[in-house]
Structure 1
Amino acid sequence: MSTPNAIANPAPLGLCAFGMTTILLNIHNAGFFEMNSMILGMGIFYGGLAQVIAGIIEAKKDNTFGLTAFTSYGFFWLSLVCLIVMPKLGWVEKTSNNAMVAYLSVWGLFTLLLFFGTLRLSKALQFVFGSLVILFALLAIGDAMENPTIKTLAGYEGIICGASAVYTGIAQVLNEIYGKTVWPLGPVQR
């Protein structure tokens, strides 16, 4: 039983928000459907706002890694939606391939640096962040080379990355509810 001032673990919310939004965007990248309002809506509200909220709660729990990761990726989703929507509204020019390569590369480098933090966390989080580094690399390379085959490959890899985040989030929920390991996360390295 939790104490009256206990704060629930926000990581499952952040992981599921990241994972589900990543899956949907990458189903598009894999070529199954067009960019549409469903992806943009998920990007704003679940991938974006839900992760920012999870990150703020992580700050209250004194978890610097969770704060940094969830708020950053929440704002990643919000900025990505802006990159797509603002040109359609006529507010700015469409992002060039070179600019998109820079955007994806900076996020890939940021993710690689956070990956090193996961080496002290669960194997599941290591997989999420490791596969996200690969996803950003594939997306940046696909844009740099203007190669749709690489972008399609990135889509499939992104589905795996997103699914691993959902698994990690739901595993944390189920393991907490049942008070034992229902879905393993891999040992935590301390």
Structure 2
Amino acid sequence: MADHARGAAPSANPAPLGLLGFGMTTVLLNLHNAGIFELSAMVLAMGLFYGGIAQLIAGLLEWCAGNTFGTVAFTSYGCFWLTLVALIVLPKTGLAETSSTGAMTAFLLMWGLLTAILFVGTLRINRALQVVFASLTVLFGLLALADASGSHALKVVAGWEGLFCGFAAIYVAAAHVLNEVYGRIVLPLGALRAAVVPMLARKAA
């Protein structure tokens, strides 16, 4: 705290790490949901280490930077991926029962609710992040409906929509990195004139 007060050198922006952990893992899981390949150790490992642990690290770094939005978003979705891996693995070990359809529907709806709340926050950040959180809200809704109805076709639709969401997050991460490296806007994020709190958009608006 004292070092920051004396003007210590700024730290790196943790947002790209969190966005890539989320985006790349989301793409891989939704390739499965779209029916392109079966769920395997590859997806689970990505969910555990990059989607889970890397996002938790990004969330803690955002906390150190005083960014409430980034802290909540990255820490929450890091825990989402760790929880999802546990939901798949624990029943196979005999430590827990497989979640019922109703339980998984409630699980997905709760994450959809959180995402909708965070989407409202993105209305003060930038357009690109709005696309990420709006599409993620839709994704959780589609997955909840697919689970509740047992519709394979709806799950495939959710998979393709999830691919869009994941690649949108990767785009935002790439914009943060490249805009900072080149010192100019290489990939636009759609900065908002009314935005007064930089949050995830810092350094790369």
Alpha-carbon separation, structure 2, partners of 1:5 and 1:72: 28
Match of residue 67, structure 2, among 60, 63, 69: 63
Aligned counterpart for 1:35 among listed residues 24, 35, 39: 39
Give the alignment partner of residue 11 of structure 2, picking from 7, 13, 16: 7
Distance 1:4 1:12 in 2: 22
Give CA deviations for 1:147-175 in whole Å, capped at 9, x if unaligned.
Answer: 00000000000000000000000111000
> Partners of 1:77 and 1:124 in 2: how far apart?
22
Residue number in structure 1 paired with 2:110: 106
Structure 2 equivalent of residue 130 of structure 1: 134
Amino acid at match of 2:155: K
Aligned-residue offset at 1:6 = 1.4
Aligned partner of 1:117 in structure 2 is 121
Aligned residue among 150, 153, 160 for 1:156? 160
TM superposition shift of 1:18: 0.1
CA distance in 1 between counterparts of 2:61 and 2:178 reads 20
Distance in 1, matches of 2:151 and 2:43, equals 22
Among 165, 172, 176, the residue aligned to 2:169: 165
Instruction: Note the alpha carbon deviations across 1:70-104, whole angstroms, 9 max, x for none.
Output: 00000000000000000011111111111000000
Q: Percent identity at matched positions?
A: 57
Residues 6-28 of structure 1, C-alpha deviation per residue, up to 9 Å, x if partnerless?
11000000001100000000000
State how far apart, in whole Å, the 2-side matches of 1:119 and 1:7 are.
26
Distance in 2 (CA, whole Å) between partners of 1:128 and 1:45 is 21
Q: Tell me, in whole angstroms, the C-alpha distance in 2 between the residues paired with 1:4 and 1:150.
A: 51
Segments of 4+ moved more than 6 angstroms: none
List runs of 5+ in structure 1 lacking aligned partners. Answer: none
2:202 aligns with none
Q: How many residue pairs were aligned? A: 188
| Separation in 2, partners of 1:30, 1:98 | 22
Distance 1:93 1:151 in 2: 23
TM-align CA RMSD: 0.9
Cα separation, 2, equivalents of 1:106 and 1:175: 34
Alignment match, 1:92: 96
